[in-house]
Amino acid sequence: MKYQEILDRTRALAARPARKLDSRKSAAVMKGFTERTTGSARLFQQAGKVLPRGIEHAWTPSVPYPLFMNHGKGSRVWDVDGNEYVDYILAGGPLILGHNHEGLRKSMMELINTRTNFHGFSDEMEIKAAEKIIHHFPAIERVRFTCSGTEANAAAARIARSFTRRKKIIKFLAGYHGWSDQFMTDMEVPGSGRFVSQGIPDEILDLTVLVPPNDLDALERAFVEHSSLGGVAAVFCEPVGGESGLVPFADGFHAAAIEIAHRHGAVYVFDEVVTGLRMGLGGAQAALGVKPDLTTLGKALMGGWPSCGAVCGSAEVMETATVGVIPDGRPFAYIAGTLPGNTLSAAAAYYTILELEKPGVLDRMFVVTSDLVDKLNGLFAAHGCGFFAYSFGGIVRIEMTAPHGVPLTGPEAFPEIISRRGLLEEYSAIVHAHGVFTRNGRDMVSCAHTTKDNDRAVKAFSALLDTLE
Ligand SMILES: Cc1ncc(COP(=O)(O)O)c(C=O)c1O
C-alpha cells in the first residue's frame, strides 16, 4: 500500500467513531481466557512484589494481565499454562528466524561449548559480523556494536554532534529512536510532544527539533532557524516512517531530505533498528536506494540473542567513535561499554545473517507477510469496518482505531487518542484469547511463519470483528 493511501485510510478511520467491544460477548471470551491463564495471573501477582508494576517488557500484552511464557518454537509460543499461540509480536522484531531457531541455536551452542561466551578481549567474530553487515548494507563501512537500539541511536547522536561540532538534532514527528532523554518526545502520535515521560529536563529536549514528516520546507526552515542556536548536527528518521510505518514517508522524501541536510552540513541518520534485515539483507537503505551517513541497527540483527545493537556508517563519520583515545585533533566521541560486541552477540549477528542468506529464506517471509496482509484486507473489506493492513518487508501494520490519525486540534483530542489506544489493547486481548498474539496490530512476520499461521490469525481477527458492537 502506498504512503498516500495509508494516510488517507488512517484519517478516514480516525474520523469514524471507534468501534467498542460488545461487553457481553467480550466478557464471555475473557472469562474463558482468564480461566485458561491462571498461572500467568499468579505470576503477575508475584512479579508486582519485585518488578515495578509487575512488568518488564514494553511488548508484552497487558490485558487482562501480562502473560508469562514457558517456551517457543518457530512461529509459536506456549504460556506457563500450556496454551499455544501463533506469535506475530516476535519480541517487537528480534525473532526474525522465529522462536529458538534450530540452526542459530546449534551455531551458538557450538561457540559456547568449544570457545567462549565472552572473554573481554578482541575476537575475530566481531570482524566476521561487521564484514557481513558491511557486505549487505550499501551505506555502511564501519560498525560499532552496542547493547541495544537505544544505545545505538544515543551513540549516533553523539558521533554526529562531535563530527559536526553542533548541538541540535532533528527528529520527525511520531518517530521512535529508543528511550534516551533526547528522543523522548513526540512519539507515535504526530504533534503529541513531551508527554511521554517525566524525568527529562526541558533543557535536553530543547536540543531536539521536531519536524513534520514529508514537509521539506519545514525541514529547510528548521535548519535555517537553528543555525545560530547551536546548529543542527543530524536528522534522525525511521526509514519507512514513525513507529515503523504508522506515519509513512512519501517516495523520494529521503533523497531530498539528505540533500537539504548535506547542504546545511548535517549528518542524515537511518534508524534501521526495525527495518534492518526485516526489509531485506541490506535493510531499508538497499530497498529504497538511499545512502544515509549513519545507520543504527538492533532487534533482528542478533536473531533474539541479547546485547543487540550497532551504530554504523561511512568510514569518515564513524572514525569519530572512540573507546577513550587521547584527543588527536580529529573529532572524537566516546562510545563504549563492557558488553557491546561481546563474542556471543557478535556471533549471533554473524550466524543470523548466515541463516538469512540461505536461498529463499527471506523471500518466503515476504510472501507469507503479503499473504497475511491480503487475507486480513479481504476480511476487513467483507466486514466494511474500515480496518486495513499493510506491510514493509516483514513488518505488518493492522490499523483498527487509528489513534495517531486523530487530528490534534484541541484538548478533546487527547482523551480520544487515549481511549482509542485503550480499545486497541482490548481488541488485542480478544485476539490473544483466540490463540494469536498481536501487539495492537504493530506486528511482525518471521521466516518460520506459514500461510497456515495466517489462516489462524484471520480466524482470530474474524472472531474479534464478531465481538464488536
Ligand atoms: C525504530 C526503533 N529505534 C530504536 C529502538 C530501540 O531499540 P531497543 O529497544 O533495542 O533499545 C526501537 C525499539 O522498539 C525502535 O523501534
Q: Are residues 136 and 231 in the same domain?
A: yes
Q: What is the mean pLDDT of the chain?
A: 96
Question: How close is the Cα of 27 to the center of ligand 1, in Å?
Answer: 34
Instruction: Please report the sign of the dihedral spanned by the C-alpha atoms of residue 362, residue 366, residue 369, residue 375.
Output: negative
Residues 458, 368, 391, 381, Cα dihedral to 10°? -30
189 pLDDT tier (thresholds 50, 70, 90): confident
Q: Provide the pLDDT confidence category of residue 94 given band limits of 50, 70 and 90.
A: very high
Sign of CA dihedral 60, 64, 68, 71: negative
Mean pLDDT of all residues in 367-388: 98
Question: How far, in Å, is the centroid of ligand 1 from the Cα of 278?
Answer: 14
Q: How confident is the model at residue 409 (pLDDT cuts 50, 70, 90)?
A: confident
Residue 446 lies in a domain: yes
Q: Which pLDDT score, from 0 to 100, does residue 70 have?
A: 98
In the predicted structure, residue 203 carries a pLDDT above the cut 80: yes
Same domain, 312 and 422: no
**Nearest C-alpha to atom 8 of ligand 1 is from which residue?**
149
| pLDDT beyond 80 at 86 | yes
Q: What is the DSSP string of 180-238?
A: SGGG-SSBSSTT--S-S-SS--HHHHTTEEEE-TT-HHHHHHHHHHHTTTT-EEEEEE-
Identify whether residues 172 and 319 lie together within a single domain.
yes
**Distances, alpha carbon 444 to alpha carbons 87, 353, 363, 409, 464, in Å:** 9, 18, 15, 32, 19
For residue 244, the ligand 1 atom closest to its alpha carbon is 1
Best of 273, 277, 307, 397 for a ligand 1 pocket test (most atoms within 8 Å of beta carbon): 273
What are the tens digits of pLDDT across the range 349-371? Answer: 999 999 999 999 999 999 999 99
Per-residue pLDDT, 124: 98
Domain termination site, one of 357, 390, 407: 357
Helix (H) or strand (E) holding 106: helix 102-114
Give me ligand 1 centre to Cα 176, in Å.
7
Same-domain status, 45 and 134: no
Q: How far apart are CA 463 and CA 327, in angstroms?
A: 63
Residue 322 in any domain: the answer is yes
Print the domain residue range for 195: 116-357
How many structural domains comprise the chain?
A: 2
- List the beta bridge partners of residue 208: 169
Write down which residue in 330, 357, 384 finishes a domain: 357
CA 156–ligand 1 middle distance (angstroms):
13
User: Which residues, judged by CB distance below 6 Å to any ligand atom, belong to the binding site of ligand 1?
Assistant: 92, 148-150, 153, 176-178, 238, 271, 273-274, 298, 309
Tens of pLDDT, residues 304-319 = 999 999 999 999 999 9
Of 179, 249, 274, the residue with max ligand 1 atoms within 8 A of its CB, to mutate for a pocket test, comes to 274
**For position 54, which CATH number holds?**
3.90.1150.10
Round to whole Å and give the CA distance between 161 and 168. Answer: 8
pLDDT beyond 80 at 326: no
Confidence of residue 7 (pLDDT cuts 50, 70, 90): very high
For residues 347 and 365, state if they share a domain.
Answer: no
Q: Taking the alpha carbons of 62, 11, 289, 392 in that order, is the dihedral positive or negative?
A: positive
Give the closest residue (by CA) to ligand 1 atom 5: 178
Q: Do 156 and 19 fall within a single domain?
A: no
Q: What percentage of residues in the chain have a pLDDT greater than 90?
A: 93
Query: What are 265-312's pLDDT values in tens digits?
Result: 999 999 999 999 999 999 999 999 999 999 999 999 999 999 999 999
Q: Is residue 344 part of a domain?
A: yes
**Does some domain include residue 109?**
no
Q: Is the pLDDT of residue 249 over 90?
A: yes
Instruction: Give the atom of ligand 1 at the shortest distance from the alpha carbon of 299.
Output: 10
The CATH number linked to 124 is 3.40.640.10
Are 200 and 218 in the same domain?
yes
Is the bond preceding 64 in cis, omega lying within 30 degrees of 0? yes
* Least trusted range by pLDDT, from 70-84, 157-171, 181-195: 181-195
Q: Tell me the percentage of the chain whose pLDDT exceeds 70.
A: 100
Instruction: Report CA(178)–ligand 1 centroid distance (Å).
Output: 5
Same domain, 364 and 334: no
Supply the pLDDT for residue 256: 98
373, 317: one domain: no
153 occurs within a structural domain: yes
Task: Report pLDDT for 194.
Answer: 85
Find the mean pLDDT for residues 244-259: 96
The CA-atom distances, in angstroms, between 205 and each of 134, 172, 182, 242, 434 are 33, 14, 5, 18, 42
Q: Could you tell me if 422 and 352 lie in one domain?
A: no
| Nearest Cα residue to atom 13 of ligand 1 | 178
Domain boundary among 357, 387, 421: 357
Answer whether residue 108 is part of any domain: no
Q: How many A from CA of 243 to the centre of ligand 1?
A: 10
| Residues 293 and 382 both lie in one domain | no
Contact 30, 429 (CB under 8 A): yes
Q: How far is the CA of 161 from the centre of ligand 1 (A)?
A: 21
Question: To test the ligand 1 pocket, which listed residue (89, 150, 181) has its Cβ within 8 A of the most ligand atoms?
Answer: 150
| Count of residues in the chain | 469
Q: Clarify whether residues 318 and 400 are in a common domain.
A: no
- The Cα-based distances of 456 to 427, 434, 449, 459 in angstroms read 16, 9, 11, 5
Closest CA to 240 of 21, 415, 390, 85: 390
Q: Which of 118-127, 280-289, 318-327, 448-457 has the lowest mean pLDDT?
A: 318-327
Q: Which residues contact 338 (CB under 8 A, 6 or more apart)?
A: none
* Rounded Cα distance, 116 and 346, in Å: 12
Is 13 among the domain residues? yes
Report yes or no on 107 lying in a domain: no
Nearest CA to ligand 1 atom 16: 274
Looking at residue 196, its pLDDT comes to 85
Instruction: Over range 399-410, report the average pLDDT.
Output: 92
